Amino acid sequence: MLEIQSLTKRFGGVAALDAISLSVSTGGYLSVLGPSGSGKSTLLRVLAGYEAPDEGGIKLDGQSLATVPAHERGIGFVSQGFALFPHLSVFDNVAFGLRYHATSPLRDTAEVRKRVNDILEMVGLEDFARRQIQQLSGGQKQRVALARTLVVRPRLCLLDEPLGALDANLRQRMTIELRRIHSALGITFFHVTGNEMEALAMGDRVVVLDAGRILQADEPDTVYNSPASIAVARFLNRYNLFNGKNDGAGGIATAAGLIAAPDEAETRRAGEVMDFCIRIDKIEVLPENATPGPNQAHLQAAYITSEFSGAIITHLFRLTDDRILEVEDHLSHRRPAEYDPGGRYSVVWPRAEGLVFPAGAGTVPMKAAA
């Protein structure tokens, strides 16, 4: 098990990591999601031993890593840039860590060959052992980098945005491959990314990080369906966000109009400033003069355009305060609707699907088990 206890790291007096505490069970797959500057890479470097924390501690399988140098921690690191040796073959790149390990280099040529061939087979590169690195595609290079890390059998594998340099199709395929390899080996994976869909697809737990603080840590479906704050909803890039005041009668007065809020908003004080969000695939578009149901919220909007992404269409509408509202439509659900450019419509959703938060909620440090 990996245990991180009140980990703090400062640069020039600014906290890159601010009292982070979390744990990852042995064999788990943790995704850490956050924007640039959130502290993701710093967290990996501190775990790997490349940076020393200012406060807090790290334990791996019950052992404190406070005085353990990087090369003795049993931790593998897969960087976004692959960091492969261009003058070595695929086989020799993967074998490098076995042959030149700082504490226990493997001298048995037959054992090196067996372990390298086994790991190349696992990552689907058994026929590429003699290829040069410049002869490989981006996805193949990523798998070589992963094989080189895993062949030494680390206790923990750190992945620093490992899919960030790949195109969309390769990223999707490597997502499946990484999960398969993780399941086959049972090694603990600690995967950081700025891509929300990647984080949700990869981890059996997801941590949302911002400004060196944990905003939420939970199972992917909980983070997706029940973000802990408006900040988490923003990072997921799946919600339309609003800010307004509780009118004391079950509504939130926003610049775009009065929104019928879910029941939990009734417990808030009248006049209280609140954040509100609704997921983009929960919205339905009706004619402008349509009467919403008693349990529906609605706003008036003008249609702008639609963006096609395979089986998904995102319709863009302009609200009365000029902000853009997104509505997602899935072709598998129904024939795609056609809207008149500049035409007025009513955008509606079930009241219960909206989420409300006190303004500014979710920005305090929290502990998280993963």
Taking CA atoms, 259 is separated from 19, 163, 251, 317, in Å, by 37, 39, 5, 16
For 244-271, give the DSSP string. EEE-SSSEEEETTEEEEPPGGGGGSPTT
Query: On the CB side of 139, how many CA atoms lie within 13 Å of its CA?
Result: 15
Query: What does the domain layout of the chain look like in residue ranges?
Result: 2-230, 238-358
pLDDT in tens, 273-319: 999 999 999 999 999 998 888 899 999 999 999 998 878 899 999 99
Query: Hunting for tokens 């938060």 — which residue is that?
Result: 357
> Would you state the CATH architecture of domain 2-230?
3-Layer(aba) Sandwich (3.40)
Segment among 2-6, 44-48, 233-237, 331-335 with least mean pLDDT? 331-335
Percent of the chain surpassing pLDDT 90: 66
Quote the strand ranges of 204-340, DSSP E: 205-210, 213-218, 239-246, 251-254, 257-260, 273-279, 284-287, 296-309, 312-319, 324-330
Q: Looking at residue 156, what is its pLDDT?
A: 94
Query: Residue 355 — very low, low, confident or very high, per pLDDT cuts 50/70/90?
Result: very high
The CATH classification number of 238-358 equals 2.40.50.140
Query: Residue 270 — very low, low, confident or very high, per pLDDT cuts 50/70/90?
Result: confident
